[in-house]
A and B are shown apart, each in its own frame.
Chain A
Amino acid sequence: MKFNKVLIANRGEIAVRIAQACQKMGLASVAVYSEADAGALHTQVADEAVLIGPAAARLSYLNIPAVLAAAQASGAQAVHPGYGFLAENAEFAQAILDAGLVWVGPPPAAMRAMGDKASARERMLQAGVPVLPGYQGPDSTGELEAAAAALGYPLLVKAAAGGGGVGQRVVHAAAELPEAIAAARREAASAFGDERLMLEKYLATARHVEVQVLGDQHGKLLHLFERECSLQRRRQKIVEETPSPLIDGALREAMCAAATAAAAAVDYTNAGTVEFLVDPATGEFYFLEMNTRLQVEHPVTELTTGIDIVEWQLRIAAGEPLTVQQAHVRQHGHAIECRIYAEDPSAGFLPQAGEVLRLQWPLAARVDAGIAEGSQVSVHYDPMLAKLSVHADDRQSAITAMQAALADTVLLGVINNIDFLQAVLADPQMAFGDFDTQTIERAFAAWQPPLLPPEALLAAAALELQPTEGPPSAADPYSPWATASGFRMGRGGVL
């Protein structure tokens, strides 16, 4: 290959995932870490680890000179950015290329074209990719007011440079518009240093369906089908699956074709995801944005297509051609992913911190984890701890398998959303595949964790009475579970 050592400019589960892909391919991997992440799992899985700065992300994981220096000092010849942090930062990609290193991602020009919402919209219109009715152009308040009147309400005022919901306002009536424009402009100016605004029709209920694409540097561009990502809280996905239960064959075909057209319009290479909104009332779909990087939920696509997306990212970056033909990319069965977050779903999904005291992963699931027993979960970064993914013949079997996997996961010491995910999967709306991006907030706002069962009190009292050191109590030889030979006491017990 063109390189044999890869620096992973990320942390958590995705850094672990990329390090494992490197191992599989015989490539050396270099992790970077902040002071808060000393000893973190990703630093142990990679072959080397380089300290790049203090806990604050802007001084470490977002610090371009520090990451670049780590790459050069470690002798890495390629940089994989993962997702989040610098992954969609075109200046970072350019800096990597300018330093003579290989960027494991799309060309900076494609990243810029898709990063600017107004220019992306323009290009999609030219490429014949459906976009929501909207307006981009001269954006004085007067011009926006005139455009809004023509467009109708409700609409979304959106920062042209933005992303992630920053600089966005939903407007239901003309009277609210001037205030929304002023607020969005302020936010956009401070977040992106660019106060340009655009307008888009607002879909109150919509489904979020995205298409994975993969392009090599020799002009071949594939789609790897869609992922259904409508189950979200605070605009963050928590359950993803493929195939989407919400679209039929004709819609799937149209969306996948639109996704490859969108990627081709910006000369895209490497892995990327084209996000669409689907209007459940009309079945129409609209381009939302393109994520010019690896996506969190890529495992469900890997499980159903058998294609290792991270491995292909590295191969493509090394200049290798895609060996798969589009006609041979098939989906087999159904896959579901659940994201495990350190958060309290009964208290507004408030992020949680602490030490992972006990951890036991289910055997019958793919686990992408950024934590191990003893890991410290800090307040400095995204609270996602791990992802569970299951693959089964059909959707109902996959739901059942995921429920079992969640129930079998022991994660003690940090409050998390595992009980909440179980409730979501057990909901009839999930079984019918009938949900949209607002379902979680509507249906689970008053969710409370299960009540304390008497067995828990009994167990707590039993632990108080047991000596913390010493032999097990007299075994009943006739009991089927009297095989406690691996007796271990101390800070905790594992299932």
Chain B
Amino acid sequence: MKFYYSHRGQTHSIEVQAQGDRLRATVDGETVEALVRQGQSLQLTLAGQPMDIAWAKDGRTIWLHVAGHSYQLERVAGGRAGSTAGSAERSLRAPMPGQVRKVLVEPGQPVAAGSVLVLLEAMKMEVRISAGQDAKVAHIAVSEGQSVDKDQLLVELEPTDGG
């Protein structure tokens, strides 16, 4: 089976075959074999080296603690990395939960790359949501004073001609 995961904006793929507690996988073109144990944590043994991996799952999000560091992965559908990157630039979402302090643009308004569209306030900090490229405001999904969750859609942009 092939799985796709997004980590910090990059999509990674892994192809795996399971045989009992053995896993044969192709990661970035290289084939590795591992022994898998499920105990209090997940135990992977690669080339005779056992490794304990603490984990947590929340919907499509997987959190892993591997060799002293934490990683947050998102399971994504395969082969659509290009289009998701494009839509991410067009759909501006709240980077954190907070409150909309100001909406600085109107639908239909052309905006230049870097111009601030929405001001959010969270944890006593002001967060500026800016356009990543020259574009036109297609839709504003929030209003001033509204509370928003992390990843909630704020503004949709559409590319301008020639942009």
Decide if B80 is an interface residue (CB 8 Å cutoff). no
Q: Nearest B residue to A468 by beta-carbon distance?
A: B57
Q: A455-B46, A458-B27, A465-B1 are in contact. Are A355 and B37 (CB under 8 A)?
A: no
* Chain-B contact segment, one of A114-122, A221-229, A297-305, A483-491: A483-491
| Pick from B35, B41, B58: contact of A476, CB under 8 Å | B35
B residues near A432, Cβ cutoff 8 Å: none
Q: Nearest A residue to B17 by beta-carbon distance?
A: A465
Decide if B137 is an interface residue (CB 8 Å cutoff). no
Shortest CB distance B36–A (Å): 5
| Pick from A416, A454, A488: contact of B28, CB under 8 Å | A454
Q: A350-B96, A495-B40 are in contact. Are A452 and B71 (CB under 8 A)?
A: yes
* Contact across chains for A472 and B46 when beta carbons are under 8 A apart: no
**Binary per-residue interface labels of chain A (420-464) against chain B in the complex, 1 for a CB within 8 Å, 0 otherwise:** 001000000000000000000000000001101111111111111
Q: How many Å lie between the Cα of A347 and that of B68 in the bound state?
A: 21
Q: A408-B68, A494-B54 are in contact. Are A465 and B23 (CB under 8 A)?
A: yes
Shortest CB distance A41–B (Å): 18
Q: Nearest B residue to A404 by beta-carbon distance?
A: B68
* Contact across chains for A491 and B57 when beta carbons are under 8 A apart: yes
* Contact across chains for A473 and B37 when beta carbons are under 8 A apart: yes
A residues near B69, Cβ cutoff 8 Å: 407, 419, 422, 449-450
* Contact across chains for A382 and B68 when beta carbons are under 8 A apart: no
**Binary per-residue interface labels of chain A (342-359) against chain B in the complex, 1 for a CB within 8 Å, 0 otherwise:** 000001001111110110
B residues near A486, Cβ cutoff 8 Å: 39-40
The interface residues of chain A, by DSSP majority, are classed as loop
* Contact across chains for B123 and A379 when beta carbons are under 8 A apart: yes
Shortest CB distance B49–A (Å): 10
| Pick from B38, B51, B70, B72: contact of A455, CB under 8 Å | B51
Shortest CB distance B61–A (Å): 9
Which residues of B23-79 are within 8 A (CB) of A?
Answer: 23, 25, 27-28, 30, 32, 34-46, 50-58, 62-73, 75
Shortest CB distance B63–A (Å): 4
B residues near A453, Cβ cutoff 8 Å: 66-67, 71
Q: A495-B40, A495-B52 are in contact. Are A455 and B123 (CB under 8 A)?
A: no
Q: How many Å lie between the Cα of A407 and that of B42 in the bound state?
A: 17
Shortest CB distance B12–A (Å): 6
| Pick from B18, B43, B127: contact of A465, CB under 8 Å | B18
* Contact across chains for B123 and A495 when beta carbons are under 8 A apart: no
Q: Nearest A residue to B21 by beta-carbon distance?
A: A473
Q: Nearest A residue to B74 by beta-carbon distance?
A: A460
Q: A350-B127, A458-B34, A462-B44 are in contact. Are A410 and B20 (CB under 8 A)?
A: no
Which residues of B122-139 are within 8 A (CB) of A?
Answer: 122-123, 125, 127
* Contact across chains for A493 and B44 when beta carbons are under 8 A apart: no
* Contact across chains for A464 and B12 when beta carbons are under 8 A apart: no
* Contact across chains for B66 and A459 when beta carbons are under 8 A apart: yes
* Chain-A contact segment, one of B2-10, B81-89, B108-116: B2-10
Chain A interface category by residue count? 35 or more
Q: How many Å lie between the Cα of A416 and that of B69 in the bound state?
A: 11
Q: How many Å lie between the Cα of A258 and that of B154 in the bound state?
A: 53
Shortest CB distance A145–B (Å): 31
Q: Nearest A residue to B22 by beta-carbon distance?
A: A473
Q: Nearest A residue to B51 by beta-carbon distance?
A: A455
Decide if B97 is an interface residue (CB 8 Å cutoff). yes
* Contact across chains for A481 and B43 when beta carbons are under 8 A apart: yes
Shortest CB distance B31–A (Å): 11
Shortest CB distance B29–A (Å): 11
Q: How many Å lie between the Cα of A461 and that of B123 in the bound state?
A: 36
Shortest CB distance B154–A (Å): 15
A residues near B25, Cβ cutoff 8 Å: 457-458, 461
**Apart from A416-B70, A452-B10, what 17 extra A-B contacts exist at CB < 8 Å?**
A378-B97, A379-B97, A407-B69, A419-B70, A449-B8, A452-B8, A456-B64, A456-B66, A458-B14, A458-B44, A460-B5, A464-B75, A474-B20, A493-B42, A494-B40, A494-B41, A495-B65
Which residues of B pack against A, CB within 8 Å?
1, 3, 5, 7-8, 10, 12, 14, 16, 18, 20-21, 23, 25, 27-28, 30, 32, 34-46, 50-58, 62-73, 75, 95-98, 122-123, 125, 127, 150
User: Could you show 5 A-B contacts with beta carbons less than 8 Å apart?
Assistant: A413-B56, A459-B53, A465-B1, A472-B37, A487-B38
